[in-house]
Homo-oligomer: A and B are copies of this chain.
Amino acid sequence: MANVVEIGSYKIGDGKFYVMAGPCSIESKEQFADTAEGVKKSGAHMLRGGVYKLRTSPDSFQGLGSKAFNMATEVKTQLNMPFISEVTDPRQISDLLNVVDVFQVGSRNMHNYDLLKELGKTKTPVLLKRGFSGRIEEWLKAAQYITAGGNKDVMLCERGIRTFETATRNTFDINAIAYIKQNTDFPIIADPSHGVGVKNLITPVALAAAAAGADGMIVETHINPSEALSDKHQALNLNEFESLMLQIKRVLNALDRDLA
């Protein structure tokens, strides 16, 4: 039977559809709070927001780091929403444990086994993104680095793979959603934002993921995408997010499922 991951009162993998939304990076108290309120109003269940960012170039914005901790804590407490954020270094774990309800392991770290082993020693759920060139088999073995340590609360996240195609940022592997669902016990979360990386295409890809059986999705949303400090080309604004949620609900209902 499929593994259910409990986050507060939520049970990811129970058949309902769970939505994590928020900005790529926490940029300021106001930016995070306003975005969070907006996504909550449209039905999001959990908040995402980057504190430590992994960027290809050392000259790009690297996240606010620990300065964002208080902002995150205030907002999530006020809205009573679980908070998920990325961990990029084993040495961040002890501090992050005070702030996050779910650890996100980014695509670049699927193979960072030392990090995964440390997360396996915690009791906090982990969202393990697929490496952008990770085979499904390797992804499942990476998950075992966490579960072998005693932490069974692993959710997998498909976020697009690297292919020869250049018209989109990545190639969202819809097959993987169906494969994971049928062949493993892990809940599978879709990340259409990175999966296609082109704003206008995020909604159809998200609907596709829901139709294929995903247990939820994580979506980059920003109060003002054109001013975002990272991933501005793939963040939905609050209206777009609201519209997406309405359509997702209809697709889920058509297949006898529902938003949580």
Contacts and interface: CB of A to CB of B under 8 A. Distances in A.
A171 B175 contact: yes
Interface residues of A, number: 70
B255 A251 contact: yes
A254 interface: yes
Contacts of A88: 112-114
A47 interface: no
B58 A145 contact: yes
A209 B89 CA distance: 35
A111 interface: yes
Given A54-B113, A109-B111, A165 B161 contact: yes
Interface string A108-122: 110111110100000
Contacts of A145: 58
A102 interface: no
A36 interface: no
A73 interface: no
A109 to B, nearest CB: 7
A41 B111 CA distance: 36
15 contacts: A56-B138, A56-B141, A58-B117, A58-B144, A91-B114, A136-B167, A161-B171, A165-B175, A171-B175, A172-B175, A174-B208, A178-B196, A178-B208, A207-B255, A253-B254
Interface of A: 54-59, 88-91, 108-109, 111-115, 117, 131-133, 135-138, 141-142, 144-145, 148, 161-168, 170-179, 181-182, 195-196, 198, 200-201, 204-205, 207-213, 247, 250-251, 253-255
